[in-house]
Amino acid sequence: MKKQLLIEKRKKARQLHKEKGWSIRKISRCLVAGKDNVGMWVKMSDKEIQQDNRGWKKGNPRKYTKEQKKEIKKIRRQLEKEGSFFIGSLVIQGNYNKLHTTTVSKSFVDRTLKEYKMVKTRILSKNRVSLICHISLLN
């Protein structure tokens, strides 16, 4: 739900409860919101109604840090300089986990490499893809 819409819903709930004396249940049915939420909205102060503290702050990683991303990038570049044949996410993940006490997931390594545009993807033609799908269905 958009921030402005939520704030308007909160204001409307408080208005219906205080001015018209509607019950929380009736307000929740009218505004299509949960009774628990409406109950909280009715008890909020004017200042709290204007704030929307839902969700995660943009730009802040949830689990992994920017330093970990930089380290993954560094490991990938190091493998390329060495001329290593294996430079995929599994190898990078293994190298990172050997060097550090904290571990990272393969999906995080994949996302990081993709973010830094360090992944080379092959584009298969339609015929080749359909042939692969056909062969896998036969097995």
Residue 18 has pLDDT above 60, yes or no: yes
Q: How confident is the model at residue 128 (pLDDT cuts 50, 70, 90)?
A: low
Residue 10 contacts residue 41 (beta carbons within 8 Å) = yes
Residue 40 within a domain: yes
Same domain, 76 and 118: yes
Q: Are residues 71 and 128 in the same domain?
A: yes
Q: What is the pTM of this model?
A: 0.50
Q: What is the mean pLDDT of residues 77-81?
A: 91
- Residue 71 and residue 139 in one domain: yes
pLDDT band with cut points at 50, 70 and 90 for residue 37: very high
57 belongs to a structural domain? no
Question: What average pLDDT score do residues 31-42 get?
Answer: 92
DSSP string, 97-110: HHH-SS---HHHHH
Indicate whether 85 pLDDT > 60.
yes
Q: What is the pLDDT of residue 105?
A: 92
Predicted pLDDT at 40 = 92
Q: With contact defined as beta carbons under 8 Å apart, do 105 and 92 qualify?
A: no
Which range marks the domain in which residue 121 is found? Answer: 62-139
Instruction: Give the span between the Cα atoms of 53 and 51, in whole angstroms.
Output: 6
Please state, in angstroms and rounded to a whole number, the distance separating the CA atoms of residues 73 and 39: 49
Write the single-letter amino acid at 69: K
- Is the confidence at residue 139, as pLDDT, over 90? no
Number of domains in the chain: 2
Whole-number Å distance between alpha carbons of 61 and 38: 31
Does 75 share its domain with 45?
no
Q: Considering the domain boundaries, does residue 55 fall inside one? A: no
Q: Are residues 37 and 84 in the same domain?
A: no
pLDDT at 8 exceeding the cut of 60: yes
